[in-house]
Structure 1
Amino acid sequence: MRNRYTDLPKINEKETKKELEKKLFKYRDYLISLPTYLMPKITPSYSITPPTNTNAFHSSTEDSAIERIEYERIRDEYLQEIHKAVNTLKDQERHIIIERYLKHDELGYDREIWMNMGVGKTKYYQIKGEAMLRLAFALKVEVYQKSEAKTG
């Protein structure tokens, strides 16, 4: 008889943390940057555009404005997704994730954070590890180990 608990997939913690960090660094990128390709062109480009009676033609400024609005909508949704997930964490876990990954101005350093929290290095990494796994599940970026095919 098979044990249903041993058949559960195992989490690949290392890969899960990598995927989570990618998502958190994307959060930081959204906070601090707006791609230059979304900025309107400042120098004029001359071309002959035939007159049209439809609204299909947009100037590059209009296209840039539309792209910028869409980018901002996507960015805002992404930021909200991260905020909601981080807010599900316990207080110490939330503190670590925010200090380490989400501050706008600079990344925190683990040593600084555990010293400011007044916890030891081992306890800090235990809390951080749990926070990262909990956050990975909340954001649905967990990575499972490949199961080996059973013969028999």
Structure 2
Amino acid sequence: MQSLLKDIDTDKTVEAAKEALEKYQYYRLSVPNVREPKITPAYCLAPASNTNEFHSDTEDCAVYNVDSLVYREKYIDRVNTAIQRLKVEHQRLIRERFLLEADSNLQVSMKMNYSERNYYRKQEKALICLAFALRIEVYEEEWQTFGRNMA
């Protein structure tokens, strides 16, 4: 695991994990984005095309609404599953700090009986593990070609 961590850009990976958790919270708390069909007629002097294709705004809106809801549910399930796969200590740290959003880093570190320095180390490790579980880890620039260092 240590050799794998040398190839990862930890700062960008931690940021990616934090962004994933923010998106997760937004999806959990927000009302689905419902698109309404256009019901006013649009008159146009252009001739109709003879492609035999049927186009309906109502159907497009229904498909969009269902697809966006399915995407949100899949994303929430994916993040939940990733968090559940982590160590209990990492799960607790992520829930206390990022999902409950009730406390600051200092309050969470005191609540979990960690020194501030130790808390930040554990938080970084938990976020990196979450990024691995979600497959959103960010590698350094040299590793763009098939995951091998070409330098």
Same fold (TM over 0.5): yes
Residue aligning to 1:40: 36
Indicate the RMSD between aligned Cα atoms, in angstroms: 3.1
Residue aligning to 1:88: 85
Q: 2:7 aligns with which of 10, 13, 17?
A: 10
**Residue 89 (structure 1) shift:** 1.2
Q: Counting helix residues as a fraction of each chain, which structure ranks higher? A: 2
**Residue 139 (structure 1) shift:** 1.0
**Residue 44 (structure 1) shift:** 5.0
Of the structure 1 ranges 69-78 and 137-146, higher mean CA displacement relative to structure 2 is found in 137-146
> Structure 1's 6 and 131: CA in aligned 2 closer, same or farther, altered over 3 A?
closer
SS at match of 1:144: coil
**Residue 66 (structure 1) shift:** 2.5
Q: 2:122 aligns with which of 121, 127, 138?
A: 127
Alignment coverage as a number of residue pairs: 138
Counterpart residue type for residue 141 of structure 2 = K
Conserved? CA contact 2:32–2:69, under 8 Å: no
Gaps of 5+ in 2: 143-148
Counterpart residue type for residue 110 of structure 1 = N
Q: 1:74 aligns with which of 53, 65, 71?
A: 71
Of the structure 1 ranges 118-127 and 141-150, higher mean CA displacement relative to structure 2 is found in 141-150
> Structure 1's 93 and 7: CA in aligned 2 closer, same or farther, altered over 3 A?
closer
Conserved? CA contact 1:9–1:144, under 8 Å: no
**Residue 79 (structure 1) shift:** 0.8
SS at match of 1:86: helix
> Structure 1's 8 and 32: CA in aligned 2 closer, same or farther, altered over 3 A?
closer
Of the structure 1 ranges 91-100 and 73-82, higher mean CA displacement relative to structure 2 is found in 91-100
**Identity of paired residues, percent?**
26
> Structure 1's 8 and 118: CA in aligned 2 closer, same or farther, altered over 3 A?
closer
Gaps of 5+ in 1: none
Residue aligning to 1:110: 105
Q: Report the Cα distance in structure 1 between the residues aligned to 2:112 and 2:3, rounded to whole angstroms.
A: 37
Of the structure 1 ranges 27-36 and 71-80, higher mean CA displacement relative to structure 2 is found in 27-36
The alignment's TM-score, normalised by the length of structure 1, stands at: 0.72
> Structure 1's 9 and 131: CA in aligned 2 closer, same or farther, altered over 3 A?
closer
Counterpart residue type for residue 116 of structure 1 = K
The alignment's TM-score, normalised by the length of structure 2, stands at: 0.73
Residue aligning to 1:58: 56
